[in-house]
Every structure is written in C-alpha cells, then in structure tokens.
Structure 1
Amino acid sequence: MSQASQAAQGGRTTPSARTSRPMVLAGGAVLLVAVGLVVLMLARPSSSSPSDTGTGSSTSAPAETSADVGFARDMAVHHQQAVEMAFVVRDRTADVAVRRLAYDIINTQANQRGMMLGWLETWGRSKSSPGPPMAWMGHAFTSRGDGALMPGMATDAELDALRAAKGRDAEVRFLRLMTAHHRAGAEMAQAAADAAGTEEIRNLASGMVLGQRSEIALMADMLKERGATD
C-alpha cells in the first residue's frame, strides 16, 4: 500500500497530506465490508435448496442423506489430508515449483474446506457422518484400516515415508501421492456437481473438477522433469 505524500515546510505537513490519510482508511474500511458481504453470500444456502426430509433446524437445508451433505463431509476430510501433505513437502524441499504448488494447495483446499464446514453448520448438519464415506454416491467405501479413509487418500505408511523423505525423493513422493489424491477427488467432485441440489455445492464441485484436473496435468509434467512417472 502506497503512503500518502507529504510536503514538509518548516517541519509541518500540508493540509492535502493531512486529509489523504482518512480517505485511505475509509477506502480500506469499504473494501473490508465488501469482502465480508461476499463471504456471507457464499456461506448462505440458496433459497432453491431442496426441502429437508431429515433432521435439522432449517426447513430449506439439504436432507441428511443428500449428495450436498455427504459431499461436504467427505470432501472436507479429503481436503484435510491434501493440506497436510502439502505442508509436509513444503518443509522438505527447496524446489521453487514444488513449494509454489504446495502453497496453492494449502490455500485453495483449506479455504474450500472451511466453506463446506460452514455450510454444514448453517444447514444444521453435523460435520461427520456415522455411516461410511461416499454412501451418497451409491457405493459406500470401507476403509482397509491403513489410514486411507477414501479412494485416493494416502495410507499412514505413505505419509510416514513422505515425512522421512527430503529433496527430490520428497518431491516425487508428494507428486505421486497428490496425483492419486486429485484423481479421486475430481471423480467425487464430478459426482457432486451432477447430483447436488444446492447451487453452492454444484458450483464449488464443478470448480474443483477443473482445478484438480489442471493440477494433475501440471504434476505429470513435474514428475517427467524429475525422471519419474505417476
């Protein structure tokens, strides 16, 4: 942010310099209000949301068994591991491209996760489900007990190996794990984009499909540069 210019004569500031500072502060306040309104609009369920046929306080909230609620819960968990892996590799390589990718994943997926958890709260739905993941897709996933709670997620052993790796080894491990993670995530997001009843989930899921497919292509090139494949 640029500073207001000052014209000093005899150690005194001109009137124009004194009046510019309140204008800058006022402009900043307007920007903060505008950003706040955008956040509220994103977090508010649309009036076209399907009627609730389950439990909850809102009559316009998606049903407990809906694709909207199921996707928000499952993808929040899926995103959480992606963010964790991105933090791990960020601290284990000095490669600018990999660190930039990790930074993008951390920011994008942490933000999306926050939005989905916020919608669940607004809808009066719990943030976790007592049933198995992906039941909303018509094929519930049964965990193998290795830490991979859904397709594409890394196992506990794979995460431990990533944490122990450094340099090129860490980069290749991360790119392979994240490629598998994104492929399964994009498939889940496409299912939600097709089946969701709320505009919020349809729009978010459609954006996820495009974003993660783009990153899959980017990671394929990065693996080739390191003499590896996915």
Structure 2
Amino acid sequence: MESRGTTTATRAVVVSVAVVAVLLLGAAVGLLIQLPGAETSSTPARDSVDVGFSQDMAEHHLQGVTMARAVAGRTADDAIRQLAFDIEATQQEQVGRMKGWLSLWGYAEQSPDGTHMAWMAGSGESHHGGTTGATGLMPGMATSEELAKLRSLAGQEFDVYFLQLMLRHHEGGAPMAEHAAKHAGQHVVRTLAENILKSQTAEGDYMKQLLGQRGAAPLP
C-alpha cells in the first residue's frame, strides 16, 4: 500500500504535469492563428491594442495564477480549492495563448520599456495611459507585501484574504479586457478579451457571495 506521503507527492507531480500541458496547449492554440485555413490578419503594430493587451494581460494573469497556487495546504474549504483550481487552469491556458501570439508576431512577452496600459491611452476609460498607482503595478495587482501576508495565513483567515485579493485582481483587469474586446484589431484577441471579461465577472460575483457567507467584505 502506498504511504500518504507518496500519494501526496504523486498527486503533486500529476498536477504539475497537467499545468504544463495546459500552458503548452494554450501556446499551441495561439500559434494556430496563422496556420493554413486560420485567420490571416497582418501582424499588429508594436503599439497596437493587440500587442499591449497580450503583454499586460499575460503578466496580470500570472499573478492570479501565483495567488491561486498559494491555496494548496492553506485551506480546508472545498469551495476555495475548486475556485483556485479553476482560476489557475483557465488563466494558465490563456497566458499560453497570448504568449503564443506574441512569439508569432515577433514581440517580447513584456513591454520593453516596463510601462503598462499605454495601449489604452485616449480610450476615455479609467486606468489608462501607462503604469498606474504609487506601487507601479497594474490595477488590481497585489503588492509583494500583500502576497507575503497571504502566504502567512491559513484556514478561514486565508480564505477571506484570498477572496479579497483575487476579487480586486479580477476587477482591476476588467477595464483592460473591455477595451481590448472593443478595440483589438485581431478577431482572436477580441474574442479572448470578451471571454476573460465574462468569466471573471461571473467569478467576481461568486467571490462576493463567498465573502458574504464568511461575514467579510471586499477590500476598499
């Protein structure tokens, strides 16, 4: 009979392999946009919505993945574990897709000058025109201190803080997805942005419900 430690280790390996597979699948889907029979749009410009969104949303998503991974071993709540699993799997695949596009177009995975959201300049929407906030982070992203605090918690304290940070993270990324859904030149980018906006709006509503059930409120 396998020991409990062996079983846990085996599960960890299986989950890791599955995550890598999802990321690679996302990248492959991203590359398919220029194969025969696929969309044949021209390569977007470096300062386009398509490129800026793919760079910034991929980075934004990766922090969401980091927070979702922090759930392991810190909660006994099945609802929190399932939510974290769904977020990690979905956003890993979407990151792979966006990085696949950037590779195909010949652009870096991150903005070379280190600024964010300049591709939203002139949109009339909030949080546009470059890196925002005193922390230099994109809207909704947690600071290193907040991430450290999250990792220091366990049980219901962890559950509440995780929900608060992830809800703020989703809400912060919504204007980016909304802008890209309206203004990206590539159909595949607009479609992905629409899907992100829909899924994260639904997840946000669910997280508010979970917070209320735990007697907590979103971060101010």
Report the TM-score, using the length of structure 2 for normalisation: 0.78
Task: Give the equivalent residue in structure 1 for 2:47.
Answer: 65
| 2:186 is the counterpart of 1:198 | yes
Q: 2:206 aligns with which of 198, 209, 218?
A: 218
Which amino acid counterpart does residue 195 of structure 1 have in structure 2? H
Task: Give the CA deviation at 1:176.
Answer: 0.4
Task: Give the CA deviation at 1:44.
Answer: 1.6
Q: How does 1:9-20 map to 2 (within 5 A)?
A: none
Which amino acid counterpart does residue 55 of structure 2 have in structure 1? R
Q: 1:44 aligns with which of 29, 33, 48?
A: 33
Identity %: 46
Query: 1:222 and 1:42, CA in 2 relative to 1: closer, same or farther beyond 3 A?
Result: farther
Deviations 1:23-54 (A, max 9, x none): xxxxxxxxxxxxx8xx55763246453xxxxx
Structure number with greater CO (CA < 8 Å, separation at least 6) is 2
Rounded Cα–Cα distance in structure 1 between residues aligned with 2:186 and 2:213:
41
**Greater than 2 Å deviation, 4+ residue runs:** 39-43, 45-49, 142-145
Rounded Cα–Cα distance in structure 2 between residues aligned with 1:91 and 1:43:
37
Which amino acid counterpart does residue 66 of structure 1 have in structure 2? S
| 2:107 is the counterpart of 1:122 | no
Query: 1:221 and 1:108, CA in 2 relative to 1: closer, same or farther beyond 3 A?
Result: same
Query: 1:118 and 1:198, CA in 2 relative to 1: closer, same or farther beyond 3 A?
Result: same
Task: Give the CA deviation at 1:144.
Answer: 3.0
Structure 1, unmatched stretches of 5+, are: 1-35, 50-59
Task: Give the equivalent residue in structure 2 for 1:144.
Answer: 134
Rounded Cα–Cα distance in structure 2 between residues aligned with 1:179 and 1:40:
28
Structure 2, unmatched stretches of 5+, are: 1-24, 122-128
Q: Is the 8 A contact 1:223 1:229 kept in 2?
A: yes
Q: Secondary structure at the match of 2:141?
A: coil
Q: 1:102 aligns with which of 77, 81, 84?
A: 84
Query: 1:41 and 1:216, CA in 2 relative to 1: closer, same or farther beyond 3 A?
Result: closer
Q: Secondary structure at the match of 2:70?
A: helix
CA RMSD of the aligned region, Å? 1.7
Greater gyration radius: 1
Q: Secondary structure at the match of 2:138?
A: coil
Task: Give the equivalent residue in structure 2 for 1:163.
Answer: 151
Q: Secondary structure at the match of 1:89?
A: coil
| 2:117 is the counterpart of 1:134 | yes
Task: Give the CA deviation at 1:177.
Answer: 0.4
Q: Secondary structure at the match of 2:56?
A: helix
| 2:94 is the counterpart of 1:112 | yes
Rounded Cα–Cα distance in structure 2 between residues aligned with 1:187 and 1:43:
27
My pick for the range that moved more, 133-142 or 205-214, is 133-142
Rounded Cα–Cα distance in structure 2 between residues aligned with 1:118 and 1:126:
11
Task: Give the equivalent residue in structure 2 for 1:179.
Answer: 167
Task: Give the CA deviation at 1:149.
Answer: 2.1
How many residues in Structure 1 have an aligned counterpart in Structure 2?
181
Task: Give the CA deviation at 1:102.
Answer: 0.2
Q: Is the 8 A contact 1:42 1:200 kept in 2?
A: no
Q: Secondary structure at the match of 2:71?
A: helix
Rounded Cα–Cα distance in structure 2 between residues aligned with 1:166 and 1:223:
16
